[in-house]
Structure formats: C-alpha cells, structure tokens
Amino acid sequence: MADIFSIGVSALQTFSRQLETTGHNIANVQTPGFSRQQVELNPLAHIGGRGAGVEIGNIQRIFDGIATDQMREAASSQAEFQTYGSVLEGMESVLSESSSGFNFAVNDFFDAINDLANDPVSGSARQIVLSKGEELVNRFELLSGHLLQEENSLNQQVISTVDQINTLATDIANINGAILLASGQGAEPSDLLDERDRKLHELSQLIRIRVTDQGDGTLNVFTGSGQVLALGQRSFSLGTQQGQFGQNSLDITYAGISIITSQLEGGELGGLLRAGQEAIGPELSELGRIAMALVDTVNALHNQGLDFQGALGGDFFSRPEIQAKQLASNTGSLSLSIDVVDLGALQATDYQIAVNASSQLLITRMSDGATTNLGSGAGPFSFDGLLITLDSGTADPGDRFLIQPGRDMANGLKMLLVDPDQVAAAAVISGSAGINNRGNGNLSSVRVTDVANAAFTTTAGALTPPLAIRFIDGSSYELLDNTNPLAPLVLETAIPYSAGGDLFPTPGGIDHGYQAQISGAPQGGDIFSFAYNSNGVGDNQNALALAGLSSSSILEGGSESFLGAYNNMLAELGNRVFSAENNLGVFTALYNQAESRRDSVSGVNLDEEASNLLRFQQAYEAAAQVIRIADSLFDTLLNAVGNR
C-alpha cells in the first residue's frame, strides 16, 4: 500500500514537472533561438519486475545540429551580401548618372569649349570655359570625397565589427566554461546551450566560422580560414591597424601580429572588406584614372595653343604626382618616382613592388594578382603606362612599395587658369601660302609638337626664326630662314617633297617643334611661310581640338572616352549590386529553409503545448486519484483494525 502512495507521488511529481516544462515552452514561444524542451520519463521497477512508478529522466532539449550549422553558414553569406550590397547601393546612388552630375560636368566643360570655338573672341565664352572647368574640378573632388568618406565610415564599421567579434568570442568561451561546470553536475544545461547557439549565430553573422565539438560539452570556434577565436574556455582576439603602407584601408590582425585581412570572408566583416576591395578602392582608382587622362590630354593640347594675349597656353589643370608608398619596415633606401607615359595603357588598379633576394623588382597588379619581374636593372621601367624611375638609394631584399596611381588624383585637381584670356583657343603658328603662288598647294593644319623647342622659347611671342619653304620645282623645295622675307636665308635645300608628308623634321634634321603638311601640287617658286600667330584671336583651331577631346577615345588602349570609362565603371558597379542582390536572395532563401527546418524541430507549437497541458493535467489528476485511492485503502484498513 505504501507502494501505491509512492507510485502516486512519483507520478504527481513527474506530471507537475511536465506541466512546468510545457509552461516553460509556452513562455519561450517568442524567444529567438529557444529549443523546446521535453521531460524524459523512465518507468521505475522493483527487483523482480513489479512496477514502482515513474522517474524523471533528463529534461531533453529538442535540437537539430545540422540545421543549426546550415543556418550559421547561410547567415554568414547572407550578412556578407547584405552588407556588401548596401555599401555598394549607397555608392551607386552617389555615383549614378543622374545624381553624380559627372556626365553633366564633363559635357558642360567641353560644350563650353565648343561654344568658345564658335565664338573665340567672346569674353563671356572664355569666362564660361573657366567656370565650367572649375565645376569639373569640383565635381571630381566631390565624388572622390564621397568615396573617401564612404571608405572612412567603412573603416569605422570594420573596427566596431571586430570589437563585436572579440566580445562574442569571449562570451562563447565563458559559456563553454559554464557548460563544462553544469555538465559535471550531471544535468544538461539546455538554456546555456541555447544561449551559446545564439552567440554563435550572432558571430556567424559577423564573420564566417567553423565550430568543432570537443565532446565535453565545449565547442571550439575558428574563423573560416582557421584562426582560433575560442578554444574551450580561452578566447583569442582580432585587431585592426592602418594599412601597412600607411594607406587608408585597414588591415585585420590576428593575435596582434599576423595580418589576415585577405583571408577573412563571410559575415558583415567579410562584406565590409569586400566592398572596400572590390568597389571603393577600384572606384577611386578609376575616377583618378579618368581625372589623370582628362588633365593630361587637356593640358597637352592647351600647351599647344595660343591664348587671347598671344602667349603660349600653359597648363589648364594641375594634378598631384603619383606617390610610391613604402613599408615602414623597409631597410633599403630606395625611393621611386612614378610618371604616366601612356594614358591608354593605364589601368584602374593598385600595384605592389617587392624586392626579391636577388634584388629584382617584382611588380604585382592588384586587380588580377599578376606579377611581373622588372629585373634588377637601373630602370626606368615602363609598366601599364607608368614609368617607374629609381630615384636614389638601393633596395634591400624584402622591401616593398605600394603604388596607387589613381587614388589621390580626383580630389587633388586644381584649375590653374585664372584669367579668361588665358584660354588658348588659337593655333600657335599661322601658315600662309605666298600671294603669288601659282600651284594649288595648300598648307594643311600646322601642329605643334614641342613647345619647349628653342623656336618658341627664344623670344616670347615670335618664332625664332620664322621659317618658309620655297619650292624649287614640283618635287623638291628648300627651307628658308624667313627673318627677312625680302632676303630669306637658305637653311637646307633640295628637300624632296611628297604630297601630304610631314615637312618637319627635314631630312637634314631641322626640327622647330612643329609639323605641317602640304596638300595639292605646288609649283616651282611657290612659297609657304610660317609665323607666330600674333593677334590671331579669331583662330579657333585649338579650341576645336580641345572640344574634340570629349568624344575621343583615350583610355583602354584608345577605345574609351572619359565618360565611356565612367559609364563602364557605373555599369560594373551596377553589375556588382545586381549580383549582390541575387546572392542575397539565394542565401536568404537558404537561411529561411534552414531556419524553417530548425524551427520545425526545435520551435514551440502552441497547439501541441495546449494538448500537452490537457494531457499532463489529466495525468496529474489521475495520479492524484491514485493517492486518494491509496488513502481510502489505508482508511479501510485502519477502520477494520480499529473496530476489532
């Protein structure tokens, strides 16, 4: 009879625990990451098999390890593309055609020059060229400023993400310790396990992780590339530092020493790093490349023109020089200087130069990682349109340099012209056919090739000496010093003439820094003379040539105009955003699927809990009846004994 009591009591205790657990489940129906719990029941029996009631086993945590792993994996990718995509979308809206105003600024500038070509003496047309030039410089500065700002805020986010990663790694190590302690006491610490899973999940949203089970209840956590973040109860931290060449982009360090930036991926951190490497950096380089091309071509042409006052056109814009940064740890004394020699070959990327054991310079193009051995010569070396000159000093093996050609260009442009009269719209040289020429030879455009030639520099505002050519007959001519047109001096004679061929440099090597061609058939005695285009204010030849730059293909080996390159950059950015969105969709679907699987197993279903409540309540009441029956049996027995 005492057995019936104890059986009843064991059942009562068990069912009340089951009701408690059901209540716990219901209470946590909205708790993220909560795994529903179930009470394990074991029947009790005496030796010999007679039943002795029920015993509470473990409070079991219903858990699907594979689904949880899948969720973490998908969460890493999802967070990566989410972060990456949103940074890029921000850039897209800043750089896009309609909001950046870049296209308008470039077009306006060249349109202003075109209008000047239509009306070269107009002071207002000149003024507009200046103000549009100023606007173009501002636009470059504004856009690159946006990108740099974006990069700085990205760096801030990287720093705070790394902090969060470190905090989570510490938390996980601590929970590992608590779980170890609890498991030692025999009970499965369900809620601690849930807590750790939540932390792991949060961590996987920040960076891709791998998790291994130690078998004693603790988990080890590694980055995707194998750096330990948590090992049992110990945690290890990541750090950030400025780029090793002193550049603006951050490096991630591990355990305070090794740089692991390039190894990390996944999660918010992966997305941030990727956005910096794949978008902001290249975009700055491209913007800078366009700026360089524009400045250099406009300057080169402008130098070959004549301004309103009759002076040679100076530089229109200025741009910063390309700097070679070096490691603080370089032991050699080599310093490099970098010039642009071929705009068409220029690429929108960074380069690293490393000195190997045999003192050869290895240059690596960062966009595709291709490395070229420049050898150990004295240089200068020409690579991708850059001229790399070894200025002074010697390099030691292991020294490294960073070249970021376009990076600081766009925000370092300046407009050099201050006076509208300084816009060089006219050609420097006016060529003319002698008034008594009998042939139908025509002097086609005269092109300046070198304004540093003594012909231009000896006396400002004049050619020294002015030249003329006089045809001896239809097939040969002589070159004259035309200082005194009445008695010209012969400089070189019997120069063979071929229609349309360059007149300079002559076979005798006379080169005065300009070229000209004659078309048609001149006759003996015909004279063509070249003079400085003094007062040639109505000449628009240089303005026409400058205006033509807007559509001329200068970049990418002569296949891309300034705006073409910009639009390609935008399209590539658009492509990246597009594929980031697609990837985000895919990984979100994967995540939802894994989460659904996890929830299906571990999530709380209120209907189920309601029916459990009813079941356990009934069972509880039944167990209470058992005790009541036992009690009444006991009373019956007592009464029987007492009546006697």
Partner 1 sequence: MRISNQQFIKSALVAIQDQSAQLAITQTQLATGMRLTKPSDDPSASVKSAGIRQFLSQLEQFDRNTDAAAGHLALQDGLLSSLSDLLLKARNSVIQAQNGINDTSALAGLREELTQNLDQIINLANTQDSNGEYFFAGSKSLTQPFFRDGTGQYQYAGDSYERELALSKQRRITTGISGEQLFMRLETGQNGLESNHNPANTGTGLVGETLVDNPALLTGDQYSINFTAADTYDITNLDTGALVASGVPFVQGGDILFDGVRLDLGGVPAAGDSFTSGPAQVQDIFTSIQGFIDSLVGQTMVTTDLANSANRTLENIDQAMERMVTEQARLGGKRVAVDDVRDANATMRLQFQTSLSEIEDLDYVEAASRLSQQSLALEAAQRALARVQNLSLFNFI
* Interacting positions 592-631 with partner 1 (CB under 8 A): 592, 595-596, 599-608, 610-611, 613-614
Can you name the residues that pair with 621 across neighbouring β-strands? Answer: none
In the complex, minimum distance from the CB of residue 629 to partner 1, in angstroms, rounded to a whole number: 27
Quote the tokens at residue 455: 């012909």
CA 455 to CA 532: how far, in whole Å?
A: 10
By the rule CB under 8 A, 122 interacts with partner 1: yes
Can you name the residues that pair with 372 across neighbouring β-strands? Answer: 363
Q: What letter would DSSP give residue 216?
A: S
- Three-state secondary structure readout of 400-468: EEEECCCCCCCCCCEECCCCHHHCCCEECEEEEECCCCCCCCEECCCEECCCCCHHHHCCCCCCCCCEE
Which is it for strands 518-519 and 442-443: parallel, antiparallel or unpaired?
A: antiparallel
- Scanning 13-21, 64-72, 283-291, 562-570 for contacts with partner 1 by CB under 8 A, the matching segment is 562-570
Decide whether 120 or 385 has the Cβ nearer to partner 1: 120
In the complex, minimum distance from the CB of residue 597 to partner 1, in angstroms, rounded to a whole number: 10
In the complex, minimum distance from the CB of residue 4 to partner 1, in angstroms, rounded to a whole number: 31
Decide whether 430 or 482 has the Cβ nearer to partner 1: 430
Decide whether 314 or 603 has the Cβ nearer to partner 1: 603
| Sole residue written with tokens 């990837």 | 583
> Which positions from 81 through 110 interact with partner 1, judged by CB under 8 A?
89, 92-93, 96-97, 103, 107, 110
- Scanning 64-72, 382-390, 451-459, 548-556 for contacts with partner 1 by CB under 8 A, the matching segment is 548-556
By the rule CB under 8 A, 571 interacts with partner 1: yes
Decide whether 121 or 259 has the Cβ nearer to partner 1: 121
> Which positions from 17 through 76 interact with partner 1, judged by CB under 8 A?
29-30, 36
Size of the site for partner 1 (CB under 8 A): 72
In the complex, minimum distance from the CB of residue 288 to partner 1, in angstroms, rounded to a whole number: 20
Which one of residues 21, 70, 227, 540 is an interface residue with partner 1 (CB under 8 A)? 540
Which one of residues 75, 128, 200, 426 is an interface residue with partner 1 (CB under 8 A)? 426
- 429 half-sphere exposure, CB direction, 13 A CA radius: 29
Let me know: does 429 contact 463? Beta carbons within 8 Å: yes
Let me know: does 72 contact 208? Beta carbons within 8 Å: no
CA 607 to CA 21: how far, in whole Å?
A: 15
Can you name the residues that pair with 467 across neighbouring β-strands? Answer: 481
Question: From residue 383 to residue 422, what is the string marking binding to partner 1 with x (rule CB under 8 A)?
Answer: ----------------------------------------
> Which positions from 203 through 232 interact with partner 1, judged by CB under 8 A?
none
Let me know: does 252 contact 239? Beta carbons within 8 Å: yes
What Å distances lie between residue 47 and 52, 166, 534, CA to CA? 10, 55, 125
By the rule CB under 8 A, 119 interacts with partner 1: yes
CA 383 to CA 394: how far, in whole Å?
A: 20
Let me know: does 231 contact 294? Beta carbons within 8 Å: no
In order, the DSSP letters of 136-158 are HHHHHHHHHHHHHHHHHHHHHHH
- Three-state secondary structure readout of 468-482: EEEEEECCEEEEEEC
Which one of residues 451, 533, 620, 626 is an interface residue with partner 1 (CB under 8 A)? 533
Decide whether 35 or 506 has the Cβ nearer to partner 1: 35
> Which positions from 168 through 197 interact with partner 1, judged by CB under 8 A?
none
Decide whether 63 or 578 has the Cβ nearer to partner 1: 578
Any alpha helices (H) in 429-560, and if so which ranges? 454-457, 541-548, 555-558
Question: From residue 444 to residue 463, what is the string marking binding to partner 1 with x (rule CB under 8 A)?
Answer: --------------------
Decide whether 74 or 117 has the Cβ nearer to partner 1: 117
65 CB-near residues (< 8 Å, 6+ apart): none
CA 200 to CA 230: how far, in whole Å?
A: 11
Which one of residues 9, 52, 121, 148 is an interface residue with partner 1 (CB under 8 A)? 121
By the rule CB under 8 A, 436 interacts with partner 1: yes
By the rule CB under 8 A, 548 interacts with partner 1: yes
Q: Is 120 left (phi over 0), alpha (psi -120 to 50) or beta?
A: alpha
Let me know: does 190 contact 197? Beta carbons within 8 Å: no
| Sole residue written with tokens 């020429």 | 437
Question: From residue 330 to residue 369, what is the string marking binding to partner 1 with x (rule CB under 8 A)?
Answer: ----------------------------------------
Decide whether 10 or 28 has the Cβ nearer to partner 1: 28
| Sole residue written with tokens 């019936």 | 4
Decide whether 239 or 603 has the Cβ nearer to partner 1: 603
